[in-house]
């Protein structure tokens, strides 16, 4: 059990979910928190991660760091999505084990489920049929991460829990046009198309300075080298925005708008994560109270001695196969991407046209998760999508004034 003095390391504490988890823990009185920016600690660097754990010796770890992006990024950076995420996961989870961390919470994604999984998707749908091709690499990396948690628990008696959030949005979201997720990308595109129509170049330049575009090879072929920010000419900015489907009072979005998606406010996700971190053990998930949910491995000078097998292992053969121990985190509610666009249009006050480019991929047709296990473990969401879109737009506007 973690008390208010427990040292908790949050990997990815500047990100969408990590920052919300950090704030949630502070609000609950957990003040002994540690975090490192990517510049301070590269989680893909095995030796650097070991040095960090040697020095800090955290009691608990929240692994919220990941290499992420939307459907376009998943197509462009396939090797990065699998390699970067695998490196981070392996380094952090292994060092958590070798340094005797009491509790670890791993954050994955519901893209782990098969493209044609029965809806709503239960945890036991994992690995039952092929994945959606457009995000296969990221999904495989996240499946490996949750299986690492499960396997360390079964072999070494650790207490590592994996949670699989649905599509997230909220404060500190990524609004960069090249690699953001669907809602912030859609919101920024619609906002900029409105500004172009109004001729509000002061606001356009503020927005572009806040989040400049780092051109892809295809965009560089159109506008030349160099980032696109507010100091560029109007012509260069307009060409760059048009590349992403942003024009005068007109926005082009990928697909036909028919896919169904579930969205969870990031601060709700943080609250669910902290609830699980503080109140849920591996034994609760598999329903076996006698399971060794506390680490029993022999240690030498505070570290694990792998050559000493005394007390190792939590798996009891008579229990049979234990799998799908992760927890879905979401609302259990869905809407179409087109309906989401209509909510964003209304919130932004956009009066132009939204065009759907059905030559571009839709992604998975439907991604609704079953949250029965989460509810059974004592947590339900609070923020509904209609309020959440307004809250996100307010945060986005405030970010431009900073």
Hey, which residues are catalytic here?
138
Q: 3-state class of 396 per DSSP?
A: helix
Q: Give the C-alpha separation, 193 to 42, whole Å.
A: 37
Q: How many CA atoms lie within 13 A of 205 on its CB side?
A: 10
Q: Give the C-alpha separation, 367 to 113, whole Å.
A: 9
Q: Give the C-alpha separation, 381 to 264, whole Å.
A: 8
Q: 3-state class of 74 per DSSP?
A: helix
Contact 175, 393 (CB under 8 A): no
Looking up tokens 């709503």 gives: 120
Q: 3-state class of 98 per DSSP?
A: helix
Backbone angles phi, psi at 261, to 5 degrees: -135, 150
Contact 156, 149 (CB under 8 A): no
For the stretch 119-125, contacts whose Cβ atoms lie closer than 8 Å and that sit 24 or more positions apart, written own/partner, are 119/366, 119/368, 120/332, 120/368, 120/369, 120/370, 120/371, 121/328, 121/367, 121/368, 121/369, 121/370, 122/328, 122/370, 122/372, 123/164, 123/324, 123/325, 123/326, 123/327, 123/328, 123/370, 123/373, 124/324
Q: Give the C-alpha separation, 165 to 185, whole Å.
A: 19
């Amino acid at each position: 059990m973690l008390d208010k003095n427990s040292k908790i390391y949050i990997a990815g504490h500047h990100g969408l979910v990590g920052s919300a988890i950090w704030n949630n823990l502070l609000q609950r009185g957990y003040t002994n928190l540690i975090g490192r920016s990517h510049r301070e600690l590269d989680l893909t660097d095995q030796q650097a991660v070991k040095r960090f754990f040697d020095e800090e010796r955290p009691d608990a770890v929240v692994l919220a760091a990941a290499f992420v992006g939307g459907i376009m990024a998943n197509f462009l950076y396939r090797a990065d999505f699998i390699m970067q995420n695998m490196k981070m996961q392996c380094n952090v989870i292994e060092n958590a084990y070798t340094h005797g961390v009491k509790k670890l919470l791993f954050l994955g994604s519901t893209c782990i489920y098969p493209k044609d999984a029965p809806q709503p998707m239960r945890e036991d749908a994992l690995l039952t049929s092929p994945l959606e091709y457009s995000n296969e690499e990221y999904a495989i990396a996240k499946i490996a991460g949750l299986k690492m948690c499960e396997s360390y628990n079964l072999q070494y008696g650790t207490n590592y829990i994996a949670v699989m959030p649905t599509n997230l949005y909220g404060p500190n979201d990524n609004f960069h046009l090249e690699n953001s997720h669907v809602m912030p990308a859609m919101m920024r595109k619609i906002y900029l198309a409105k500004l172009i129509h109004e001729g509000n170049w002061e606001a356009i330049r503020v927005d572009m300075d806040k989040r400049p575009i780092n051109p892809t090879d295809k965009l560089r072929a159109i506008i030349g080298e160099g980032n696109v920010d507010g100091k560029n000419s109007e012509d260069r900015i307009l060409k760059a925005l048009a590349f992403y489907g942003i024009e005068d009072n007109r926005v082009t979005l990928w697909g036909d708008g028919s896919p169904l998606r579930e969205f969870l406010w990031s601060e709700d996700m943080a609250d669910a994560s902290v609830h699980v971190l503080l109140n849920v053990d591996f034994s609760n998930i598999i329903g076996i109270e006698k399971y060794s949910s506390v680490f029993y491995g022999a240690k030498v000078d505070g570290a694990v001695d792998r050559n000493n097998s005394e007390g190792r292992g939590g798996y009891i053969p008579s229990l049979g196969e234990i799998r799908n121990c992760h927890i879905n985190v979401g609302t259990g509610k869905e809407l179409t991407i087109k309906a989401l666009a209509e909510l964003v249009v209304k919130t932004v006050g956009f009066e132009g046209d939204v065009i759907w480019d059905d030559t571009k991929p839709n992604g998975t047709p439907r991604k609704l998760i079953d949250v029965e296990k989460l509810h059974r473990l004592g947590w339900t969401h609070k923020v509904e999508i209609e309020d959440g879109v307004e809250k996100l737009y307010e945060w986005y506007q405030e970010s431009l004034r900073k």
